[in-house]
Structure 1
Amino acid sequence: MKKETMYQLISGLFVFLFVYTASSKWMDIETFRWALSGSPLLKHTANWMIYALPAVEILVALLLCIRATRSLGMLSSLALMITFTLYIGYLLASRHELPCSCGGIFRDLTWRNHLIVNCILLVIAALGYRLQGQKTY
């Protein structure tokens, strides 16, 4: 597969992922607030994080949609995936039993399965970032 096609597919995947998860969080904002309020790391920031996190996800999706900002969007996607993956790793290591504050289908995953999905997405984001650095198109 051509690098350009692979890069565009990865960008599209993250646009879909971030728009989907942000929308799911906003559609059930009270559950999202409740989950963040129970988090040992996020409980003190829950009231503004319920708006900030989905807004950042939408912003990153928009960056990925604009050719001139796609590189920044891919770097931002990688940063978000690193952050989300580390957070899930922390929860698993500390044995905190919390509901997932993610939206939609991700809400039904166990934390261990969520970590696996995030690790896969993290690898894909790293590949996208690497491809954008190599682009010759």
Structure 2
Amino acid sequence: MRTTKVYKLVIHKKGFGGSDDELVVNPKVFPHIKLGDIVEIAHPNDEYSPLLLQVKSLKEDLQKETISVDQTVTQVFRLRPYQDVYVNVVDPKDVTLDLVELTFKDQYIGRGDMWRLKKSLVSTCAYITQKVEFAGI
């Protein structure tokens, strides 16, 4: 569902509202968005790639006409607070990766832990420089 409506980008820190979610949306503002949807956030005049995040929480106490993204994600994608952005739900088939390469520094990971890590990353969103925390690793 493509939209030409503009929303304001709000930035939150980890632990906002008791969760560590990278994206928080208001279900009253976005009634067509449900948990698990992939959302594309793009600046109307920006040359950078759009940001794709998965909806993991809905919060009704967000301001109207806003969408909230974690501060660390906005720094990586050079997004600024209260910037106008377009928000669109995208089909996961259009943005699915077949292969992701992860690098671990100074850490031993056994085959079983590697398998569990892989299972935890399936059907999630990932981006470059993302810190993935799993089983204390």
Query: Normalising TM by the smaller chain, what interval?
Result: under 0.3
TM-score (structure 1 length as normaliser): 0.22
Greater helix proportion? 1
- Name the one with the larger strand percent: 2
Length-normalised TM-score, structure 2: 0.22
